Structure 1
Amino acid sequence: MGIGQRRPVARSVGIAALALAVTAGTIGTAGAAVAAPNRDGDSAAKRPGANRLEGVWRTDGYGSIVEIHGTAFTTYDVTRISCTPGWFSGAQVGTPGRGGVVRYGASGKAYATASVTPRGRDRAVYKEDGAASARNLTRLPGGLPAQCRQPAPQDPLVAFDRFWATFEENYPFFAAKGVDWRANGARARADITPQTTPDQLEGILAGLLRPLADAHVGLGRKQADGRYHGVVAEWRSGTREPDEHEQEQAARAVAAQLVAPERPFGLGRLGVGELPGGIGYLRVSGFDDYVEDGPYQEHAAELDKALDLLLAHPDRLNGLVIDLRLNGGGSDELGLRIASRLTDRPFLAYRKVARNDPADPTRFTAPQPSVVRPAAGATRYTGPVALLTAGSTVSAGETFTQAMAERRPAPVRVGENTQGVFSDLMFKPVSADFVAVLPNEKFLTRDGGTFDGPGIPPDVRTPVFTPEELDQGRDSALTEARRILSAGPPTTDRRTPGPPTADRRPPAAGRWPLTVSR
């Protein structure tokens, strides 16, 4: 997920502990966010001088329809049984750029956070700032389907069906998780009546999600102040999110090994320090929230400040430790931005695909490669690197770890498996009270595998912020990373092994015909 935009939750875990910001459309008032909707289909796009993007589009994957009318940008969430207002609406910022690209910003924001670029009359590309890939759009003949303009029914059974269908048609990991979503859904649905209360419905929906044990799956419930509170998120078995006290203890254990106090950047989300023996230290607690409120470019500029200090004299560095153990995710692009300062040659980071057939969970969009290219006009470091990882390394922290595995020389990973959640998050309102949070993507390795589920394993396994270590002020992972870097480069090249459970089947590209019928 890009940053500096609607950001209800960072592209990360910890959903149950976070409030979701209100920028969603309200289920039950379909079309309310659109000023004077285009009722004549795509004919406006054919008029001389009209906006080339004017009209209605469907996404390749992601279960969405996009309507562009004048300066308004509105999304709708589509399943085979429903069409309801989506999470995001916004407006054009500035005038169209080269090639007809139009920038859009979230409602109430003065800056742009995404772009739509036409590719001929009937195709376009939507790109969120900070995301590692784009979404292909195809013009939808006939304009906005009539069902999308009607108020959505609000009774508990209809809300349940929308929730269930949203996961059934988008979630890619039921087989890998060993979950029979259809059987579980049928049992849960039998417990719902017209008298089912929101509290009871919450319990039923949360009960469906818990067996997935997926930290990128969640349920948000709307509060009296209009914000959403996450009510369920399950970490991989054996892992958990360290609490504030444990994070403070961890910071003291790290500080004990630095030769001078860490210098913070990005509102404390980044830290630059030095370890004995001329080894640099970079803490990355997340790939977002580096500024209070601003576009992606401001977050990137703050990251550059930290990297400029860290790499001010790359020839003097005898090694570099990048600490991702408490990384809550964020923008994949910011991770690639760091990688671009650590190479002198391009390399493939990963290939990204999204599920795009509601009836077939094995069909995905065509892979989109992300390539790391050496940063131009900036100092770069190409020596040995150690990455510190843990179960609390999640999402964008993991895509960065996966990307860096293709760097040469490859970093050594020290610590524990990462959490095992890589996809961007989708936020799908399913009723006036609830929003579903779920992934629909895979980040593929060079040979077509993924680390979704088990996470990326370390090369050297050590304790990470265990109660015993924290009580004694020890940090075995950092100590081991220092030892490895001080010993010199490895004698053999290091490549990331795929876990035995990795899905190594190449994704099938495909496109599903949009239907919005009852």
Structure 2
Amino acid sequence: MATSSRIRHPSSALSFGRLQGVWRSRGYGKILLIEGDEFVVFEETAISCLKRYAGSLDELGQWYENLVVSPGEQAFGVRRATGVTRIGFRRLKALPATVTDTQGRDRDDPVYNFEVFWHTFAEHYALFALKGVDWFQMYQRFRPRITADSDPEVLYATLAAMLRPLRDGHVRLHTPWGHYNAGALPALYKRLGKELEEAGEHRETTSYLGELRDWLREVIHQDYLGGEVRQGGNHLVEWGRLNGTIGYLNIRAMSGQSGKLGHPAHDLAATHAVMERALAELGNLPNLVVDIRGNGGGYDGVALCFASYLMGRKRLAFTKSARCGKGFTGQQAIYVCPVAGDTYGGNLFVLTSELTASAAEIFVLALLQHPRLTLIGDPTLGILSDTLERHLPNGWHLTLSNEVYRAFDGETYEDIGIPPHIRLSFLGRRGREMGWDPMLDRVLRLAGEGSR
């Protein structure tokens, strides 16, 4: 099948053109203005409504897909092109008064930026209860530090200090004065840092981890796959055979397969193409290893696309709901549906680590109802929510977790990660000293093929 036939078609400008007027999203804090053949998107809080994006309706149709309009045209729903989320909009009579108020403000006012920042999290962050953070207390503690004369560096340091207790890898703040990620380092980093300390080596843990990952990849390529490694999807997908009955598939990311940054439709097309190639070679084997130990995420839609080649029938992958006012939107059910044609029908062994994050965890959620699934490794990182992108009046950019994901059985794995069936440490010292991969060796034993 030609790659281009797999690209999803966006909603048309003509479809959006019938929706003239002002619309407010349910959750997600967006105001959408459609006038003529153009649109404007505002980011809304209770005290602000900041104009962020404008363009043609053709561009809007690239952002949103699968437009469904209510009979009275007082509401509509769309799916974001970068994921699987459906967002509902309802009609307003006019733009909120906060639009004019925001336009009249000094956008560099430190106090105003602090207030918009605080309201953004107060109204949209979904995990305060899970994190044990009282955001109102944070306001009382940090608000007195900011005055009209505060330097940008002081504002940045204050906002970063407020984010630190969230310990959330999807919470980030980007400014000219620094970039802050609120995520806590996985235990793997602490373990490797201790190794460096014991060896008296003064070097970055990140570079050490990178060297170890390169070493393991070489071991897998040469010692387990015998140098017979296929690649596709912009070198982000690798596959081969461990032996005559076990296939190996390494998915290194859930975006970028097309080589075009920020083009999810093309990534999906490339994912279909590479999975068709890989399963043409591995699909008849009774066992398949899927290695996502180094997969840090990407697009949920790409993750579900990979999973659709590994499931024999339609199953509930997960549900998700977003912060909305003082509560949440209704739970949206997301299913993994097998592709037309053959899907893999054998035993599935999925390897995970603490580096398995975000959309890679969505891939695992999508496979939890697989009847022959065995998860091996460490619990995943535990950052499943999509990131909601927001901006402050001064132009600073931030992201936050505004959704709650639940597995098919209602379990939530935010913060704790998805646990494996068989616990083995990623890049454990013993395996490195012996020069092997304990997880692949365990698969060999489970499949009755011995081990190294």
The structure with higher relative contact order (CA 8 Å, sep 6+) is: 1
Give the alignment of 1:234-249 within 5 angstroms: 234-235=183-184, 238-240=187-189, 243=207, 244-249=210-215
| 1:249–1:470 Cα contact (<8 Å) kept | no
Secondary structure, aligned partner of 1:289 = coil
Given the alignment of the two structures, is residue 455 of structure 1 paired with residue 417 of structure 2, yes or no? yes
The equivalent residue for 1:414 is 376
Moved more, 233-242 or 446-455: 233-242
Alignment of 1:94-109 (within 5 A): 104=60
- CA distance, structure 1, for counterparts of residue 105 and residue 233 of structure 2: 42
1:123 aligned onto 2:86: no
Query: Structure 1 residue 316 and structure 2 residue 284: aligned?
Result: yes
Question: How many angstroms apart in 2 are the aligned matches of 1:152 and 1:56?
Answer: 22
| Aligned twin of 1:52 | 18
Q: Does 1:171 align with 2:125?
A: yes
Task: Give the whole-Å Cα distance in 2 for the aligned partners of 1:245 and 1:104.
Answer: 43
Task: For residue 145 of structure 2, give the secondary structure of its aligned residue in structure 1.
Answer: coil
Alpha-carbon displacement from aligned partner over 1:40-77 (angstroms, at most 9, x marks no partner): xxxxxxxxx99321111111111111112223232211
Q: Distance in 1 between matches of 2:92 and 2:239?
A: 49
CA deviation vs aligned residue, 1:274-313 (integer Å, no higher than 9, x gap): 2123311111111111123274332122112221122115
C-alpha deviation, 1:130, in angstroms:
3.9
Q: Which amino acid in 1 is paired with 2:377?
A: G
Aligned-pair CA distance for 1:172: 1.5
Tell me if the contact between 1:67 and 1:73 (Cα under 8 Å) persists in the aligned partners: yes
Give secondary structure in 1 for the equivalent of 2:89.
strand
Structure 1 residues not aligned, in runs of 5+: 1-48, 94-102, 106-111, 224-228, 489-518
- Asked if the contact 1:252/1:473 (under 8 Å) is kept, the reply is no
Secondary structure at the aligned position of 2:213 is classed as helix
2:447 is paired with a residue whose SS is helix
Give the secondary-structure state (helix, strand or coil) at the position aligned to 2:277: helix
Q: Deviations over 1:453-497 (max 9, x none)?
A: 101001101110246645654321222233223479xxxxxxxxx
Structure with greater helix share of residues: 2
* Aligned residue identity for 1:214: D
Alignment partner of 1:316: what SS? Answer: coil
1:90, 1:279 → 2: CA distance? 50
Secondary structure (helix, strand or coil) at the match of 1:337 reads helix
State yes or no: 1:274 paired with 2:241: yes
Partner SS, residue 335 of structure 2: strand
In structure 1, the residue matched to 2:85 is 133
Q: Cα deviation per residue 1:70-118 (whole Å; 9 max; x = unaligned)?
A: 23232211111211124x444322xxxxxxxxx726xxxxxx2423442
Q: Distance in 2 between matches of 1:431 and 1:470?
A: 50
1:232 to 181, 206, 212: 181
Aligned pair in 2 of structure 1 residues 144, 468: CA closer, same or farther (>3 Å)? farther
Kept in 2: contact 1:236–1:453 (CA 8 A): no
Q: 1: CA distance between counterparts of 2:146 and 2:82?
A: 40
Aligned partner of residue 267 in structure 1, secondary structure:
coil
Change beyond 3 A, Cα 1:57–1:282: same
* Aligned mates of 1:303, 1:461 — CA distance in 2: 29
Q: How does 1:3-42 map to 2 (within 5 A)?
A: none
Distance 2:393 2:16 in 1: 35
State how far apart, in whole Å, the 2-side matches of 1:162 and 1:471 are.
52
- Normalising by structure 2, what TM-score? 0.85
Q: Distance in 1 between matches of 2:430 and 2:239?
A: 26
Partner Cα separation in structure 2 for residue 375 and residue 212 of structure 1: 38
Task: Give the 5 Å matches for 1:292-311.
Answer: 292-293=259-260, 295-311=263-279
Deviations 1:186-207, CA, capped at 9 Å, x for gaps: 2111111222111121111111
Displacement after TM superposition at 1:448 (Å):
2.4
Give 1:365 shift: 1.0
User: Corresponding residue for 2:334?
Assistant: 370
Deviations 1:386-432 (A, max 9, x none): 111111111110011011001223x1110001011111111110132
Q: 2:163 aligns with which of 199, 209, 212?
A: 209
Identity of aligned residues (%): 31
Q: CA deviation at 1:156?
A: 0.7
Q: In 2, distance between residues paired with 1:431 and 1:239?
A: 38
Deviation at 1:273, TM superposition (A): 1.9
* 1:445 maps onto 2:395 in alignment: no
Aligned to 1:392: 355
Equivalent of 1:260 in 210, 219, 227: 227
1:12 aligns to what?
none
RMSD: 2.4
| Distance of 1:284 and 1:405 partners within structure 2 | 17
Q: Distance in 1 between matches of 2:394 and 2:26?
A: 27
Q: 1:472 to 1:268 in 2, by over 3 A?
A: farther
**Relative to 1, partners in 2 of residues 1:230 and 1:182: Cα closer, same or farther, differing over 3 Å?**
same
Given that residues 22 and 33 in structure 2 are in contact (C-alpha distance below 8 angstroms), is that contact kept between their aligned partners in structure 1?
yes
Distance 1:296 1:457 in 2: 29
Distance 1:50 1:203, change over 3 A: closer
8 Å CA contact retained: 1:84, 1:152 = no
Which range moved further: 386-395 or 287-296?
287-296
Give me the whole-angstrom Cα distance separating, in 2, the residues matched to 1:257 and 1:366.
47
Aligned length: 412
Secondary structure of the structure 2 residue equivalent to 1:414: strand
Structure 2: distance between partners of 1:418 and 1:307: 23
CA contact (8 A) 2:17 2:37 kept: no
Taking structure 1 as the reference length, what is the TM-score of the superposition? 0.74
Tell me the residue number matched to 1:161. 115
